[in-house]
Amino acid sequence: MGFEFVKELPTPDMIKGLYPISKEIETVKAARDEEIKKVFTGESDKFLAIIGPCSADHEDSVCDYISRLAPVQEKIKDKVIIIPRIYTNKPRTTGEGYKGIVHQPDPEKKPDLLAGVIAMRKMHMRAIAETGLTPADEMLYPENYGYLSDILSYVAIGARSVEDQQHRLTVSGFDVPAGMKNPTSGDMSVMLNSVVAAQHGHTFIYRGWEVNTNGNPLAHVILRGAVNKRGVNQPNYHYEDLMTLLNLYGERNLQNPAAIIDTNHSNSAKKYKEQIRIAKEVLHSRRYNKDIHTLVKGFMIESYIEEGNQTIHDKCYGKSITDPCLGWEDTEKLLYEIADNC
């Protein structure tokens, strides 16, 4: 029972001072942020591919993977904006298992949060410096956002976090798009309530300060499927689901209605190869209905160098140690197909 206070961690400003971004990264991020923002405001008809490993477990293999995305991005840049997933915080349903590089810079060693915060920032910075692609991450801990606020171009709020008030209010202070996933129950009203909260300004406590926010007009939804009371997966990417979401958006006075479709998780029942079929179905729905075309702005896809997954101790380079992912060959083909059909 009780807490053991192990060490006081440096503030985000301290870490940024020790590991500052270069002027080049600052310039790249500003340009990318503007390009991505225009997708959500409707000024651009480009499609988003938020794609990468389930968890960013090893810096070398993650940066290798992103370096493979870069030439593909150059070829499809007129149609698709690739945002690499560099997920350094991993929610765990039971609290057990690998929680991401921010907890364990070495997945086989004990947690070290100080080393993890540094490793998290350095990996993101290296990926941008080597590829010019600014990344996405999941905000598992609202107080950690400041460590990456000058780096990220997109933030996701997970299904287990989206009902939490601190997550919602923190998003209201972001200046980049934030995707609010439907909760594991699948309740779209809960998901949209989180967008309402995120798009409004608030006064609240953040990292020991009383803060004010102005609201984030780029907050939107992510459909990731659901699990019913019997533990059965229920997808929510079908045409009828998208029409339901359109109608629910229409009942609310929200800015920039938008949806990202998560092709894995409960939409695929974690059958990772199904992501390809799911993407094709959603692309068909966009072509069939102009309102769905306007609403659905992109995909969230789990992909790595090697397909499938492994245990932490297997040590296969570029293979997920959490949820199974598409391999590189399928990933490259899928990205070109998205560009041809979005």
Q: What is the pLDDT of residues 220-249, one digit of tens each?
A: 999 999 999 899 999 999 999 999 999 999
Task: State the CATH class of domain 12-341.
Answer: alpha beta
Q: What is the pLDDT of residues 7-26, one digit of tens each?
A: 999 999 999 999 999 999 99
Give the pLDDT score at 118.
Answer: 97
pTM of the model: 0.97
Helix then strand then coil, % of the chain, to nearest 5: 40, 15, 45
Tokens of 212: 């004010």
Give the pLDDT score at 111.
Answer: 92
Q: Which has the closest alpha carbon to 55: 149, 159, 143, 137?
A: 137
pLDDT at 92 > cutoff 90? no
Distance CA(150)–CA(126), nearest Å, equals 14
Q: What is the pLDDT of residues 26-78, one digit of tens each?
A: 999 999 999 999 999 999 999 999 999 999 999 999 999 999 999 999 999 99
Distance CA(342)–CA(183), nearest Å, equals 27
| Buried/exposed 253-266: b ≥16 CB within 10 Å, e otherwise | ebebbbbbbbbbbb
> Is residue 331 within 8 Å of 51, Cβ to Cβ?
yes
Helices (H) and strands (E) in the chain, counts: 10, 12
Break the chain into its structural domains and give their ranges. 12-341
* Ranges of H-type helices in 77-187: 113-131, 165-171
Q: Is 214 helix (H, G, I), strand (E, B) or coil?
A: coil
Give the pLDDT score at 321.
Answer: 95
Distance CA(239)–CA(243), nearest Å, equals 6
Give the pLDDT score at 189.
Answer: 95
Q: Is 203 helix (H, G, I), strand (E, B) or coil?
A: strand
pLDDT at 1 > cutoff 80? no
Residue 218 binned pLDDT confidence (cut-offs 50, 70, 90) = very high
DSSP 9: P
